Amino acid sequence: MLLGCVLTALLAAAGLFVTDYGIEPALWLSALAVGFLAYLAAFDPWLQRKRAAGLATDAALDAAVRELATSLRAQWVDECRARGLDDGALAVHWSSEQGRPGRGDAVVGAFERHPRMVFLGEPGAGKSTIAMLLTLGLLDRHENGPVPLLLSLSTWDPDREDVRTWLTRRLYEEHPALRNTELYGSYAGELLVEQRRVLPVLDGLDRIAATKRADALGGINRAFPVSAQLVLTSRSDAFADAGVPVAGADVVTLHPLDHEEVAGYLRAHSDPVTAARWEPIFLHLRAEPDDRLAEALSTPLAVGLASVVYADGEPSELLDRARFPDRASIEAHLVDALVAGAFGDREAARMARASQVWPSDRARRWLVFLATELRSRGVTDLAWWELRRSVNSRWLAVLGALALGVVGGFGVGWLMAYAGTPKLAPTTGLVAGVAIAAAALHAARDRAPRPKLGAWRSLVLVSGVLGTAVGLVFGALYGLAAGLVVGLGLAVAVALRFALGSSAELSRPTSPKWTMARDRIAVWTGSLVPGVVFGAAAGLVFGPNRTGMVGLGLACGLMVGFALSALHLRWWWFTVARVWLALRGKLPWELTVFLEDARRLGVLRQAGASYQFRHVLVQERLAGTPVAVRSDA
């Protein structure tokens, strides 16, 4: 579809400049328009509603599950490597309510014996890591069963939506290719959830407000009864306070790390000189196993942080009781040292393959802003498309609409000023700008996209009607050929919007960069087609030999195309928010580069199409939230 749209635009432009060979422009464009509509009819989901507009078939859902499993496996393999878990992780031990012991590296086998599990533990005990390793292990063995989908529960509000509705929404957000009705049929995401072809791995019940956890567990029990596979993680106290059991689940509690295993891990991940510096700590842990330092270094999070922070430092400072009187002060120190050491150090940036050395003070200020925003919304997922929530919604809508209105209106007015009707240029540009701004204000409303049904899914009808209407206006002003080329160009642009709105690359691993790139591709491709069309129209009306007219038409078309393409896409509203926050010093100009570097430096991690802080304790420390640590030992 995409290739056909681009080829049609190029043929329309090329045919106007080969008149020396006796080609009549009107005849050429008429034949091309008819051929393009016939081409659209072959792909039109409205005309082929039995295949595409109906509910997804079992075969289509099977294909979606296979491709989704491929995508998720590649995604979590990459994230496992980024977190350093591919070269060995600390062995986490647990015991179930029935007293059965287990280890982290045997989690897949435990789940296969009892495919409904709840993992409990204190902050930093490794619950999220266990959930990720289980997800990856199940994906490695995936054949025809449900595909495990790991999601953070922080984005779910039980008062606003059912857990299945939330799961479906997150599935579409992470994998927008599921909206490709031509491949998977309609409501593929809903049916994957309804038919339990997706295995929910729900991380962090404790990230839901305390007053809503009981309702959340009740909703989970209703949506996923005893016969359904399920994985849930939570802090032990949060789960106990909710007072609602997960029906039929094997509840296991993660234990504090064995100090000998901690010593073995730190020795194995240090050079001989650094390992020698750890020896006073190891001696202290053996001598005082119940001390505040032993308690602090009893979780994989704290040990991992300590390994990074003291790769070149002196860990024996942790023995200072005056400076570090309790566990919370040790954890706060490790978080602060992690952030401070990650930025402003050229060697650290080089080792992590970061793009640049970010100033430490500014990097911390930016991270504090992001952590505070996440805390205010009660979430842990840093989704790029949600940055718009950090700007007042009305102010964001006005800024975005004004910018697009100016760009589109200037493009139309500029072309009209040289189109033989300069007196109409200000009025025409103003009207076009107001129309685009009004459309942008409508598009600025924060709504989840829904599959379009009926005539609005018709490529032929929508493209043909809009192209004909605009073509008649330009035809009346500048002649038949000009009307045909502009009308055909608009039809191609509308069809291109359909084509770019349904990515077929479900098997490609999702990431923040990839989901953002999809929107950018849609913007620039949608800008190119009107640019070619307006350039061709300017050449046709004024003659290709008139200096600068083809280039002027191309430039004006690019501006109009950009305005029309960007207003419906998340990338535009993210860009408006990013620029506004950067102007105020809240965030860096190169935000996406900064976030990716922060991930490489170990401050952030990636979860599908979103970033997260390395741990919620890091987020809370940066946001200034008191970290209440309660040991379950």
Tell me whether residue 279 is in a domain: no
Per-residue model confidence as pLDDT tens digits over 364-375 = 999 999 999 999
Mean pLDDT lowest for which of 92-96, 443-447, 541-545?
541-545
Residue 186 is classified by DSSP as B
Tell me whether residue 471 is in a domain: yes
Mean pLDDT lowest for which of 189-198, 271-280, 316-325, 462-471?
462-471
pTM above 0.85, yes or no: no
Tell me whether residue 380 is in a domain: no
Domain boundary among 254, 275, 308: 254
pLDDT above 50 for 626: no
Tell me whether residue 513 is in a domain: yes
Q: Check residue 215 and give its pLDDT.
A: 94
The residue that leads in pLDDT, 95 or 550, is: 95
How many CB atoms are closer than 10 A to CB 404?
A: 26
One domain, residues 441 and 476: no
One domain, residues 442 and 486: no
Q: Check residue 631 and give its pLDDT.
A: 36
Domain boundary among 220, 238, 254: 254
pLDDT above 90 for 158: yes
3-class SS at 103? strand
The residue that leads in pLDDT, 386 or 142, is: 386
One domain, residues 236 and 97: yes
* Structure token digits, residue 75: 């995604």
Domain extent at residue 425: 391-446
One domain, residues 233 and 152: yes
- Cβ atoms of 173 and 383 closer than 8 Å: yes
Q: How far apart are CA 184 and CA 52, in angstroms?
A: 8
Q: Check residue 52 and give its pLDDT.
A: 46
Q: What are φ and ψ of residue 48, in 5° steps?
A: -110, 45
- Average pLDDT of the residues in 83-92: 72
One domain, residues 496 and 415: no
pLDDT above 80 for 1: no
One domain, residues 236 and 116: yes
- Closest CA relative to residue 488, chosen from 8, 1, 2: 8
pLDDT above 70 for 4: no
> pLDDT-based confidence at 451, cuts 50/70/90?
very low
| Residue 114 CB burial class (10 angstroms; 0-12, 13-18, ≥19) | middle
Q: How far apart are CA 18 and CA 301, in angstroms?
A: 68
Q: Check residue 584 and give its pLDDT.
A: 92
The residue that leads in pLDDT, 560 or 235, is: 235
Per-residue model confidence as pLDDT tens digits over 15-66 = 666 555 556 777 777 777 777 777 777 766 666 654 444 677 888 899 899 9
- Cβ atoms of 385 and 611 closer than 8 Å: no
- Cβ atoms of 509 and 72 closer than 8 Å: yes
One domain, residues 532 and 423: no
For the sheet with 382-383, list strands across it: 382-383, 610-613, 604-607
Tell me whether residue 630 is in a domain: no
One domain, residues 424 and 471: no
- Average pLDDT of the residues in 3-24: 65
- Average pLDDT of the residues in 611-632: 72
- Closest CA relative to residue 364, chosen from 628, 623, 607, 610: 623
Q: Check residue 403 and give its pLDDT.
A: 87
One domain, residues 95 and 243: yes
One domain, residues 129 and 183: yes
Q: Check residue 411 and give its pLDDT.
A: 79
Per the prediction, the chain carries an average pLDDT of 82
How many CB atoms are closer than 10 A to CB 81?
A: 11
CB neighbours of 221 closer than 8 A, spacing ≥ 6? 244, 246, 247
Q: Check residue 630 and give its pLDDT.
A: 35
Q: How far apart are CA 184 and CA 23, in angstroms?
A: 43
| Residue 48 CB burial class (10 angstroms; 0-12, 13-18, ≥19) | middle
Residues in the chain: 633
Domain boundary among 212, 238, 254: 254
> pLDDT-based confidence at 633, cuts 50/70/90?
very low
> pLDDT-based confidence at 536, cuts 50/70/90?
low
Q: How far apart are CA 630 and CA 619, in angstroms?
A: 18
Mean pLDDT lowest for which of 73-77, 92-96, 545-549?
545-549
Per-residue model confidence as pLDDT tens digits over 270-288 = 888 888 999 999 999 898 8
Q: Check residue 590 and give its pLDDT.
A: 93
Q: Check residue 629 and give its pLDDT.
A: 37
The widest CA-to-CA distance across the chain, in whole angstroms, is: 97
To which H or E segment does residue 606 belong? strand 604-607
CB neighbours of 66 closer than 8 A, spacing ≥ 6? none
pLDDT above 90 for 104: no
Tell me whether residue 554 is in a domain: yes
- Closest CA relative to residue 504, chosen from 74, 77, 60: 60
Mean pLDDT lowest for which of 257-271, 320-334, 430-444, 534-548?
534-548
Tell me whether residue 102 is in a domain: yes
- Average pLDDT of the residues in 472-500: 72
- Average pLDDT of the residues in 482-505: 68
Residue burial 242-281, b: 16+ Cβ < 10 Å; e: rest: beeebeebbbbbbbbbebeebbebbeebbeeebeebbeeb
* Structure token digits, residue 345: 């150090």
- Number of domain units in the chain: 3
Tell me whether residue 247 is in a domain: yes
| Residue 310 CB burial class (10 angstroms; 0-12, 13-18, ≥19) | buried
Tell me the β-bridge partners of 186: 55
Beta strands in 81-229 (DSSP E): 93-96, 101-103, 116-121, 147-152, 198-203
Q: Check residue 39 and give its pLDDT.
A: 74
3-class SS at 250? strand
The residue that leads in pLDDT, 533 or 201, is: 201
One domain, residues 163 and 96: yes
Dihedral (Cα; 207, 208, 209, 215), 10-degree rounding: -150
One domain, residues 485 and 399: no
